[in-house]
Amino acid sequence: EAQVTQNPRYLITVTGKKLTVTCSQNMNHEYMSWYRQDPGLGLRQIYYSMNVEVTDKGDVPEGYKVSRKEKRNFPLILESPSPNQTSLYFCASSPLLSTDTQYFGPGTRLTVL
């Protein structure tokens, strides 16, 4: 089954404790992206990647890092999480020439205390 998977689905952590949210897709997509979703603010792009070893900042990259060492994986790293990073995070992927048809993962709900 074609899908985007994220882990964990839920995470409660404390300020400053480094964490990684994994994202994996099995559709051989070149393009992958991370979004955060907050009430009243909609979906905001954090980082995106157009292929292996190619990443770029989205609208709200501060406090986040990503890497793209393999085509299927695009982890989101929070080196020192803060409470304002409490949010619902989505990973998405698509073929490079069809970024309008993005496939989204199920989401990761992160709470930073």
Partner 1 sequence: GQQLNQSPQSMFIQEGEDVSMNCTSSSIFNTWLWYKQEPGEGPVLLIALYKAGELTSNGRLTAQFGITRKDSFLNISASIPSDVGIYFCAGYAGNNRKLIWGLGTSLAVNP
> Looking up tokens 């299927």, which residue turns up?
72
Q: Are strands 10-13 and 108-112 parallel, antiparallel or unpaired?
A: parallel
Which range of residues in 18-26, 61-69, 78-86, 100-108 is near partner 1 by CB under 8 A? 100-108
By the rule CB under 8 A, 100 interacts with partner 1: yes
By the rule CB under 8 A, 45 interacts with partner 1: yes
Residues belonging to the chain: 113
Name the nearest CA neighbour of 33 among 25, 41, 62, 8. 25
Indicate which single residue of 8, 15, 53, 59 sits in contact with partner 1 (rule: CB under 8 A): 59
Residues 86 and 109: beta-carbon distance below 8 Å: no
By the rule CB under 8 A, 62 interacts with partner 1: no
By the rule CB under 8 A, 5 interacts with partner 1: no
Which range of residues in 11-19, 21-29, 41-49, 62-70 is near partner 1 by CB under 8 A? 41-49
Residues 10 and 109: beta-carbon distance below 8 Å: yes
Task: Indicate the residue among 33 and 85 with the shorter CB distance to partner 1.
Answer: 33
Q: How far apart are CA 83 and CA 11, in angstroms?
A: 13
CB of 59 to partner 1, least distance (A): 4
Q: How far apart are CA 44 and CA 8, in angstroms?
A: 20
Positions that interact with partner 1 (CB under 8 A): 4, 40-45, 59, 90, 92, 99-102, 104-107
